[in-house]
Structures are given as C-alpha cells and as structure tokens.
Amino acid sequence: MSTGTMSRPGRGAVRRSDGFGQLLHSEWIKFRTVRGWVIGMIVAAILTILLGVFAAGGGGISCQQPGRPPQTGKACLPYVPHGPGGEVVTDSFNFARQPLTGNGTITARLIALTGKHVDLSSPGGTEAGSGPGLVPGLAPWSKAGLVIKQSLHQGSAYAAMTVTGGHGVRMQWNYTGDTAGLPGRVTGTSPRWLRLTRAGDVITGYDSADGSHWTKVGTVHLAGLPATVQVGLFATSPNYSVTSQSFGGSSERGGPSEATGVFDHVRLSGAAASGRWSETAIGSGGPAALGPVSRATGFSQAHGIYTLTGSGDIAPVVPGPGSMLPTATVEQSLSGAFLGLIAIVVVATMFFTAEYRRGLIRTTFAATPHRGQVLAAKAVVGGAVAFVTGLVASVIAIAIGVPLETSQGQVVLPVSALTEARVVIGTAALLAVAAVLAVALGGALRRSAAAVTLAIVTVVLPFLLTALKLFPPAIGSWLLRVTPAAGLAIQQSIPRYPQVATTNSPAGGYYPLPPFAGFAVLCCWAAAALALAYFLMRRRDV
Amino acid sequence: MKVALHAEWTKLRTVPGPAWLLLAIVALTAGVSAAAVGATSCPPGLRCPVDPAKLSLTGVQFGQAVVAVLAVLMICSEFSNGMIRVTFAAMPARPLVLAAKASILAGLVLAAGIIAVAGSVLAGHLILPAHGFTAARGFHAVWVTYGPSMRAAAGSVLYLGLIALLSLGVAAMVRDSAVAIGAVLAVLYLFPIILAFVTNPAWQHRLERWTPTIAGLTIQATTGLRSLAISPWDGLGVLGIWAGAALLGGALTLRLRDA
C-alpha cells in the first residue's frame, strides 16, 4: 500500500471498499502459513471423525434364542415398524375390534381406567418384569379409548380418542400427533364419553362429560385410508418410570405397567357393522418383546360392559434409556465434535493472541488502522476455516458412523434429509460460531490462557455437567439455555414428543431449547464477545 | 534445590495472577459444592441413590479447571515472555527447575485444596441433614466422624494436587499456553463426555478404570463401593501414574529441547 494513493482524497473510498477483501486475503495468508494451525485444524477433523466413529461403534448388541447359537448385531433386531411419517414407532396394544366398511361412527363411555405398574418402592423395583412386583397405579401415559386403524399391521395409520392416566382426554393420530381434550381423571362420578367419526379420509374426534354435550377435539386427515378399516376399543400402557431429583448416580427407575379400561354404551353405526367384537393383541411378537413390557391382555364383555386390558404403547420410538429398542441417533456419530471444538477454539484464539505475543499486531494495525475491520476479517477467516473443517469432519463421521451403528444392531432413528442436513451443517456452523467466539475473546483478553479457558469452559462444561447428572436437572437445563452450550441443540435430530415419557438428558439426545433457538443463543454470545472486543480494541492502543 | 524453590516462589509471589487463581480455586470449589448441596433434597418416602460425600464435593469438578490454568501458566507464561531463558541461564539443570515448580505448585494447590474441600465438607455437613439426608434414613454423615467421607475429602485434596502436576507436565511438553490449556482441559473433560456417549460395557469399564479424571474421582465414592470399576485409592493411583508420566515427559522435553 503506497502512501501516494492514500493521500488522494477521491480514491480513499474506492480503496477501502476493496480493502476488506484484501484484508481477508492477508488474514488468510497469516492463517495458512502457520503450519501448526493448519495441522491443528486437520487434527481437529481427524479426531472428530475417530471419536464419533468410536462412539457410534461401541454399542454392539448380542442375543440368543433358545436352541440357537448366539447372534450379534443386525441379526438380533426384531421387526421394527415404521409409522406413516417414516419414523420408527412402537405399536403394541390390546384391540377389541371389528371391521368397518365405508363411513361410520363409534361412541363409547369410559367409566373406569385402572392399572398396575412395577413397584418402585421395593428394592427389586428396577428388575424388569420381576414377577409379582406389580402394584395398582397408572402410568401418566396409560391409555384406553377408541381407535380407527388402517389395518392390523404394526405401524399402519390410525386415529384415536383416548383417556390417559395423567394427561386427560387426548386425540392422537399417526404416532406423532397429539391434541388435548377434556382434562382430569376418570372416576366413578366423572366418566368420559368418546366418539370417533369417519368420513372418507377424514376422522373427527369428540369428547363429552355427559354424553349429550359434545366438543370437537380435532379433525385429522389420514391419507389413503382403505374402504374397510378396523375400529374398536383399545388399552395399552407404556413402561412406568420415575426419575428422582438426584444425580451422580443412576436415578432412572422403571418397569412394565398395564392398563384396564371399562367401557359401556359402546355403539358402532355405519354400514356392515357386524356387532361382534373380537380381541387382537397388536404387536405381541414385535419389538416390545425386547423391552420389559408386561404381557398382560384380557377382554371380557357382559351386559353391555366391556373390560379391556393391555400393555405397550402407540407412540414414536425415542432415544434414551427408556426406549424399548437399542436405538441410536444420527448425531451420535457427531459426538466427536467436542474434541474438534476444543482444538478449533485453541487455534482460533491463537489466531489473534499470537499477534499480540509476537508484536505483529502493531504491523497489522499500522496497515489497517480500523480496529473493527481487523476484528471482522479475523472472525470471518477463523469462522470460515472452522466451518469447512467441521463440515468435512461431520460428513465423513456420519457417512461412516451411521452404517456402523446399523451393522451393530442399533436402530438408527430415521430423520428427513432436511433434518440430517441441519444436523451436519449445524455442527459445522456450531464450530464456526465457537471459533468466532474464541477469536473475539482472544482479541478482547489478549491472553491465550484466559481466552481458551473461557471459551472451552462455557461451551463444554455445561453440557458435561448436565450429561453426567452432576447437577440437578433443573439447574442443568437452565445452564443449557443461557450459556453458549445452548448451541449444541442444533445437533438434536429427534424432536421431543410430549406424549412419550423420556428423560431429558442431553446425552440421550435432548436439549431444553429448540435447535435454532439454542443456536441463536450461541450466536448472541459470539456477537456480544465481538462487541466487547471491538469496544476494548478501540479504547486501547494495540 | 533450595535456591530453585526460592526463585520459583519469588516469581510466583510477585505477580498478582496466581493469588487470584488460588482464590478462585477455593471460591469456585466451595461455592459450587454448596450450590449443588443446596439444590438437592430427598423427599420423604423416596429412595434417593445419592452419595452424600460425592455430592458435597461436586465443586472439585470446577475447581480442577482453575488448578489446570494455574499450573499451565506457571510454566507457559515464562515461555511466552522469554523469562524461561533467564531461568535456564541461572539454573541450567532443567529437571531441577521443573521439580522446584512442581513442589511450589503442589504446595500451593494442596493448601488451597484443603480450604476448598473443608468448605465443601462443611456445606454438606450443615445443609444435607436438613434436606432429608439423615442418618435415620441410612445416609452417612459428611463429617470427620465417618471414615469413608474423610477419605473422600482428603482424597479430593490430593486429586487437585495431582491434577496440578499432570497439567504442569503437559504444559512443559507443549510450551504454548493456549495449546497446553486446550490439551489439559481435553484430558480433564473429554473422557467423561466419551463415557456419556459410549454404550459398550467393555469400553465403559476401560474408561472408568484407566482415564485420569474418571478413575481419579472414584476417590470421592462412599456408596456402592462394590460396583465400582476400580477401588478409590487405586483410582487415585491411576491419576498419579498419569501425573507422573506427564511430569517425566515434561522433564525429558525440557532436557532435549533448547528454550
């Protein structure tokens, strides 16, 4: 840059406009010519891939059927039903049914919902299905009610009006849909009337407390419903589990449960209603066989009173220890990103602090006196390098990790291509924003030690403490909302379904904030750090 | 050696950073422990799988990060401002300098650790019984009257000291403060994260037995001792091996390289 061009007033603006491009170029040269940093980024990518593959490959399962040699991996998997939306589902319940051709309406009054679950106050409570351990009681999502189902195949489309153990009346459909109806529990004095109406592909659910005043709960469209569907009463009950408010140990306890619904005033109107109800236990040989689900079923019918007992669940399969299947998530192969993050934070911090240490910063500021531009150029270059590194690493980690999980007999919960792209690109963006945060902290603090510690501790430690249950869940989820660690939510591929009881551990795949909201929190921290660095750099000499 | 110790002590005493970091070790450890104890309660009628001693010493997880920073800065700041050349000119025996640094560092961290752990134990002793963790319900006291609790407390102090030595050794090998802190924090926190993700029991067992922080922190366990992957003192011993190896590596690198 010659002083001659600088002194001409008319050309200053022109120079400045392409000046930022030049500044970016010079920062890029500074980055790529330090061999240690380039090696650091490559090492970050390799470690991310290796650790991710290690975590993905560590979950092999084995099994043995009587009279056969033991098997491992894929051969152990039972039939895994998929719902209409492509998600892996649990579909096991006791069904008192008859076929219905064409349009029709089923109405029933539920006069009692009772159940049994594993006794968690006895010492043997954690032992799955340990025989006589069942005590009276309902799981929050024990269900009994009405259902219209496409067929008797697991995973087929359905819509149901159901009374639950602890969440009032719900209308649920196609495993993921859930709408609330009347609140409260069913008692002798307060029964619940339920009704489902089919008109073509459209099913409408109603509820009522007295049988004369009906409220519409929801209308759902089940695409491609055949002319003849299965309609009837159902009862089911998922695993009952309690997470005690403690940590530092195994605090999740659970076991099987069963639900019994007592119905009267059961009426089915429509063409070809035969009037005969037959009992079918859906999914009795299905994936539930792996989990500690009670095998209890039962159906009796006398004087217009129908009693139906079942165990299982009609819901999407979610990751976590409560799952009945050996599940894995797409993002599990990306858990190596923590190691990559540490390496990238170190390099990004040094990208700024090394200039202070060597005195190069004086030359930089002499060439470009505008502090903000230098800061912006460094943030852009640091972020871009981290993004590319992260993208390469996560694409390779997913490409190796997911097939590895499948071959080991894990059910990798399928997600849409869009979600998978969000997880992969989001991981790269997470590393990029963390790098920007580190660059900004390096510029603000000028000392590597403080900046690196601050960046690593705020991003990694909240996750670790919550994942290891070193903190009570309340504090842990609060930490994952407000600290930069909230950005890790961008990796969550399976949404949290309110109608499935799960633990909220981030190691199980759940973050308290939605993916993009969590990512926005991290971006806010990076922006705040940039603002602080800009403010301090403007006030200081160098 | 006496001269070397005195020199290191003077270098440390005359800058404000180390004093603040020592204060931070005490405040963070005791403060986080008190917060963890205060946030936990065992409602009547529920069985709580809580280890009172381990709970009361939660803050050590945080305090160790500050210990690592202190240890790394003790040697890396000399490398970054060139002081190390003066140091080695005055005392050409590299291992002696490292030994002096290690002694001073260990002494300071142990002193700070005693205060920090005493504060944590006091918080547990005062708060836990009021939150339902009473002797009548089978919870042991977090106090001098119960041996294993005292073993956990004393072991936590030693744990912090060993973390300091491990960090010093890594820092001597790496020399740059940013890289050293990244490496040390990775060693401290990555293994527990891997443990959270790995589902293979064989690998879980290996991680619990042989990694510095997970094995080292078994010294805090006072319940379920039979199901531990490694006994408390053996676990601390594993950390000791790591720290010794790191110091040895640091001494060798200092010897083999020019400053």
How far, in Å, CA of B184 to CA of A530, rounded?
26
d(C-alpha A82, C-alpha A325), whole Å: 13
Which residues fall within 8 angstroms of residue A271, CB to CB, at 6 or more apart? Answer: A100, A101, A102, A103, A104
Q: What is the ipTM of this complex?
A: 0.86
pLDDT of A236 above 50 = yes
pLDDT of A371-410, one tens digit each?
999 999 999 999 999 999 999 999 999 999 888 888 887 8
Q: For residues B67 and B117, is the Cβ–Cβ distance under 8 A? A: no
**Chain center to CA of A263:** 36
Query: Three-state SS for A257?
Result: strand
* Alpha carbon distance B219, B232 (integer Å): 4
Rounded mean pLDDT of B14-23?
89
d(CA B48, CA A105): 49
Q: With an 8 Å Cβ cutoff, are A338 and B69 in contact?
A: no
Q: Which residues is A160 bridged to in the sheet?
A: A147, A172
pLDDT at A5: 44
Spatial CA neighbour of A197 closest among A212, A210, A207: A207
Record: contact B41-A247, CB cut-off 8 A:
no
Out of B35, B179, B203, the one facing A346 most closely (by C-beta) is B179
Note the helical H segments in A274-370: 337-358, 360-367
Q: Provide the 8-state DSSP code for A287.
A: G
pLDDT digits over A327-383, tens only? Answer: 788 888 888 888 899 999 999 999 999 998 888 999 999 988 899 999 999 999 999
Most confident of A78-92, A258-272, B161-175, B202-216: B161-175
The whole-angstrom separation of Cα A207 and Cα A195 is 6
Closest CA to B230 of B245, B257, B212, B247: B212
Residue B66 to residue B219: CA distance in whole angstroms: 20
Nearest to residue A453, comparing CAs of B20, B183, B58, B16?
B183
Return the ∠ at Cα A246 (arms to A318 and B56), rounded to 5°. 140
For chain A, percent of residues with pLDDT exceeding 90: 43
Measured between alpha carbons, how far is B27 from B202 in angstroms, rounded to an integer?
A: 38
Is residue A161 left, alpha or beta, with left meaning phi > 0 and alpha meaning psi from -120 to 50?
A: beta
Taking the alpha carbons at both ends of chain B, their separation in whole angstroms is 20
Give A71's strand partners: A63
Interface test mutation site (partner B, options A118, A242, A346, max chain B beta carbons within 10 A): A346
B165 touches B71 (CB < 8 A): yes
By the 8 A CB rule, do A208 and A198 touch?
A: no
A386 vs A285, which has greater pLDDT? A386
Q: What is the pLDDT, as a whole number, of residue A113?
A: 92
Q: Does A244 touch chain B (CB under 8 A)?
A: yes
Of B252, B54, B16, the residue nearest B149 (C-alpha):
B54
Q: What span, in angstroms and rounded, lies between the C-alpha atoms of A322 and A74?
A: 21
Q: Find chain B residues with C-beta within 8 A of A73's C-beta.
A: none
- Residue A123 has which token pair? 């010492």
The secondary structure of A94-163 as a DSSP string is: EEEEEEEESSEEEEEEEEEEEEEEE-SSSGGGGSTT-STTEEE---TT-EEEEEEES-SSTT--EEEEEE
In a mutagenesis test of the A interface, which of B197, B198, B218 is the best target, namely the one with the most A β-carbons within 10 Å?
Answer: B197
Backbone angles phi, psi at A71, to 5 degrees: -120, 160
Q: What secondary structure letter does DSSP report for A264?
A: E
Give which of B242, B251, B236, B211 is closest to B102, Cα–Cα. B251
Residue A253 has what pLDDT? 61
pLDDT score recorded for residue B250: 95
pLDDT 10s digits, B149-208: 999 999 999 999 999 999 999 999 998 888 999 999 999 988 888 887 777 778 888 888
Pick from A54, A45, A53, A55: nearest CA to A343: A45
Does the beta carbon of B36 lie under 8 angstroms from any beta carbon of chain A? yes
> Range with the lowest mean pLDDT among A68-72, A131-135, B145-149, B191-195?
A131-135
Least confident of A1-5, A356-360, B213-217: A1-5
Check CB contact of A472 with chain B, cutoff 8 Å.
Answer: yes
Query: A149, A98 in Cβ contact below 8 A?
Result: no
In this predicted model, what pLDDT tens digit does every residue of B37-85 receive, in sequence order?
888 877 776 667 778 898 899 899 889 999 999 999 999 988 888 888 9
